[in-house]
Amino acid sequence: MEQQTQIKLIDAVLKFEDGKTTDMLAECSSIKTNTYTDPELFTKETKMIRRLPTIIGHASQIPEPGDFITRLICNVPVLVLRQADGQVKAFINVCKHRGGKLVREEQGSNLRLLVCHYHAWTYETSGKLKGVPHKDGFSDMPDRCKQLTELPLSCELGFLWLRLSPLKAGETAAEFSQQVIDYLGDEVFQDLSALNLDQHVVFDPVDFHRPLNWKLAIDTFLENYHVRKTHKETIDVMFLDNIGCYEKFGLQQRNFYPKKTIVQLKDIPKERWVLRDHGNLLYVIFPNTLILVEPDHINVSIVHPDGIEHTELVNFTLLPETADDKSSEYFRRNNKILYAALEEDFSMATDIQQGLKSGACEEFLHGRFEQGLKYYHQNIQDMT
């Protein structure tokens, strides 16, 4: 992030702290509570996710040829595989014969061939059909059965971006890479580029499965109004109470949640201000990725809808280098605090999901300082 942007955000927070206020809109907003329960809306949302760029992981998870990860996202089984030439490809993890799954493991290495567990049809890692038992029975096989369905994939900013809808006729990987850059927008792309995320490695990945709508999982990240009460046993001691900065850039958001130490900067020249040392930056990459920038590491949460009232959260930490035993212990302690706070959020969100069935609330009110929620849900409405 450019120094002038850091100064702008810190200046704003210091003024808020002096005036005992925060970044606020002119008026409250609200959403209908059926946004978390309506099956028709949920179907529209999954279709939206399928057509937008989304992060499935980080390139450091598959560093060598034959390394792979798999995911089930919006009922699309995905295989991401490092090729022999170092390139990365993504396929729908489904055999073209009768739809059997090709790779069942969530992550692995040294994959040289893809063999269906049903009838042993075999594919090269490029997706090309290689072998068919009793091939003479398929002498008139159409060309569409000779190649796995490929998904557009890009490795921008060190992340593995893909789109869950297949490559269109004439579409190239380079074109999809530019689409990802354009999708992020200049401000967010420049901020993330400055973090050198492509030089980071994944540490301490953890997946959560919780009985709540996927948007409730994201809502917990979009305001710090709840920190004082919900996180009083974990992170509240570190942060200013309900003070923050919220900015939207198209579909993306950048939120800044300052720590109490930020007031120390009042006596330090502005050219020496370092924003990361005194608060958390949250990048909300629409529709389902949260990148939390902390002083010496970065936490990534990717939210996958897994049913209208069930969500998978894929979490991992990015470190600038592989951790040794000493630093591993330090970062695990840090993550223990983070994941404890997430559990507190999940508990609240689960309560909300259960409470929705009572019919007590027809709408949820968003305060003037909860604009991150307004921006996000407005994007959902606009894109579905």
Give pLDDT, residue 170.
Answer: 79
In this prediction, residues 372-382 reach a mean pLDDT of 97
Give pLDDT, residue 326.
Answer: 86
Give pLDDT, residue 264.
Answer: 95
Output the CA angle 220-222-225, nearest 5 degrees. 80
**215 Rama class: left (phi>0) / alpha (psi -120 to 50) / beta:** alpha
Distance separating alpha carbons of residues 295 and 359, to the nearest angstrom: 43
Confidence of residue 324 (pLDDT cuts 50, 70, 90): confident
Predicted confidence (pLDDT) at residue 33 exceeds the cutoff of 90: yes
In this prediction, residues 221-234 reach a mean pLDDT of 96
In this prediction, residues 55-82 reach a mean pLDDT of 96
Give pLDDT, residue 236.
Answer: 95
In this prediction, residues 116-140 reach a mean pLDDT of 95
pLDDT, tens digit, 9 for 90 and up, residues 265-306: 999 999 999 999 999 999 999 999 999 999 999 999 999 999
| Sign of torsion over alpha carbons 353, 356, 357, 360 | positive
Distance separating alpha carbons of residues 259 and 273, to the nearest angstrom: 14
Distance separating alpha carbons of residues 103 and 263, to the nearest angstrom: 52
Predicted confidence (pLDDT) at residue 169 exceeds the cutoff of 80: no
Residue type, 110: N
SS3 labels along 78-110: EEEEECCCCCEEEEECECCCCCCECCCCCEECC
Delineate the domains of the chain, giving CATH numbers in brackets. Answer: 3-48+192-383 (3.90.380.10), 57-162 (2.102.10.10)
Give pLDDT, residue 31.
Answer: 96
Give pLDDT, residue 130.
Answer: 96
Predicted confidence (pLDDT) at residue 311 exceeds the cutoff of 80: yes
Give pLDDT, residue 174.
Answer: 78
Predicted confidence (pLDDT) at residue 185 exceeds the cutoff of 90: yes
Q: With a threshold of 0.75, does the pTM exceed it?
A: yes
Give pLDDT, residue 322.
Answer: 84
Write down the residue that tokens 């096989």 correspond to. Answer: 141
In this prediction, residues 36-55 reach a mean pLDDT of 96
- Which of 225-251 are b and which e, b meaning 16 or more Cβ less than 10 Å from the residue's Cβ? bbbeebbeebbbebbbebbbbbbbbeb
Distance separating alpha carbons of residues 189 and 275, to the nearest angstrom: 18
Give pLDDT, residue 323.
Answer: 79
Predicted confidence (pLDDT) at residue 203 exceeds the cutoff of 90: yes
Give pLDDT, residue 335.
Answer: 94
Distance separating alpha carbons of residues 226 and 367, to the nearest angstrom: 12
Residue type, 89: K
CA 124 distance to own-chain centroid: 30
In this prediction, residues 234-263 reach a mean pLDDT of 97
Confidence of residue 108 (pLDDT cuts 50, 70, 90): very high
Write down the residue that tokens 């259960």 correspond to. Answer: 354
Predicted confidence (pLDDT) at residue 321 exceeds the cutoff of 90: no
In this prediction, residues 139-151 reach a mean pLDDT of 93
